[in-house]
């Protein structure tokens, strides 16, 4: 099976990259797709707090850590590699991927490459699309509007957005719905994957006492997020047609 690399990033902070990465990890777990993740928020690593067993904190700008990610693609048990790119490093990471020849092996079809570009509400996000376009010609490119914090993309004129959107061939839009603030906070406090929260378990696997209502909201929200991933046929990334 061909390995797949999914980059989740944005050049702006606070747009929900790690949240989206967490939903992706849960999605692949639920579909029995072996997946590993790299958290580039070195040295802290927010993603690692939620998914410690499959996440490694790396500094993607250093060569040893680039080797750790890309030299192991073929032999890793996990066929899907998620990279949660630190705010401001998306462009730099894409440059690095080109420089190390990763984009060439993508072009040759040896690796599946997908980019989840998380958009913020400002017009600057649209400029990021233009900057990213040249690197994703052979990738599956997903433009993610993240409404989890009730974001309204108020600065966007639909015509302007469309003009940017169409610059990237085969760009696909994904919409992450809003999640109730208290439900969101409680999962943060619990520091567990969304699926674990829904199952009312703590990080140690023991039964927890999370609110039934909040778990219900998270379950419903996660179902809607996954419906988006189903719509864009995300599992086909890891399973050859």
Contacting positions for another protein (CB under 8 A): 180-183, 211-217, 219-220
Nearest residue (CB) to another protein, 1 versus 189: 189
CB of 206 to another protein, least distance (A): 19
Nearest residue (CB) to another protein, 171 versus 179: 179
Structure tokens at 124: 């600057």
Nearest residue (CB) to another protein, 27 versus 217: 217
Nearest residue (CB) to another protein, 171 versus 195: 195
CB of 202 to another protein, least distance (A): 18
Of 118, 73, 78, which is closest to residue 97 (Cα–Cα)?
73
Note every long-range contact of 57-61, with CB atoms under 8 Å and residues 24 or more positions apart, other chains counting.
60/85, 60/86, 60/89, 60/93, 60/96, 61/89, 61/92, 61/96
Centre a 10 Å sphere on the Cβ of residue 131 and count the other Cβ atoms it contains.
12
CB of 215 to another protein, least distance (A): 8
CB of 187 to another protein, least distance (A): 14
CB of 211 to another protein, least distance (A): 5
Distance CA 10, CA 18 (A): 11
- The residue behind tokens 């603030």 is 181
Nearest residue (CB) to another protein, 98 versus 219: 219
Query: Please, are residues 95 and 66 in contact by the beta-carbon 8 Å criterion?
Result: no
Q: In what order do the strands lie in the sheet with 55-57?
A: 55-57, 35-39, 80-84, 4-9, 112-119, 140-146, 172-176
């Amino acid at each position: 099976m061909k390995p797949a690399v999914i980059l989740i990033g944005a050049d702006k902070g606070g747009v929900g990259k790690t949240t989206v990465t967490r939903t992706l990890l849960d999605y692949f777990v639920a579909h029995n797709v072996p997946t590993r993740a790299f958290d580039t928020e070195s040295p802290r690593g927010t993603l690692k707090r939620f998914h410690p067993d499959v996440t490694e904190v790396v500094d993607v700008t250093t060569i040893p850590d680039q080797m750790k990610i890309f030299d192991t693609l073929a032999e890793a048990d996990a066929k899907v590699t998620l990279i949660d790119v630190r705010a401001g490093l998306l462009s730099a990471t894409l440059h690095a991927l080109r420089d190390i020849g990763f984009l060439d092996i993508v072009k040759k079809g040896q690796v599946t490459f997908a980019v989840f570009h998380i958009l913020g509400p400002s017009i600057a996000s649209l400029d990021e699309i233009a900057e990213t376009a040249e690197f994703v010609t052979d990738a599956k490119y997903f433009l993610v509007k993240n409404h989890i914090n009730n974001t309204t993309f108020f600065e966007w004129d639909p015509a302007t957005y469309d003009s940017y959107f169409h610059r990237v061939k085969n760009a696909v839009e994904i919409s992450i719905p809003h999640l109730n603030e208290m439900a969101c906070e409680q999962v943060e406090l619990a520091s567990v994957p969304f699926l674990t929260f829904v199952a009312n378990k703590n990080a140690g696997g023991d039964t927890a006492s999370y609110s039934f209502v909040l778990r219900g909201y998270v379950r419903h929200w996660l179902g809607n997020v996954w419906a988006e991933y189903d719509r864009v046929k995300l599992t086909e990334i890891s399973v050859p047609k």
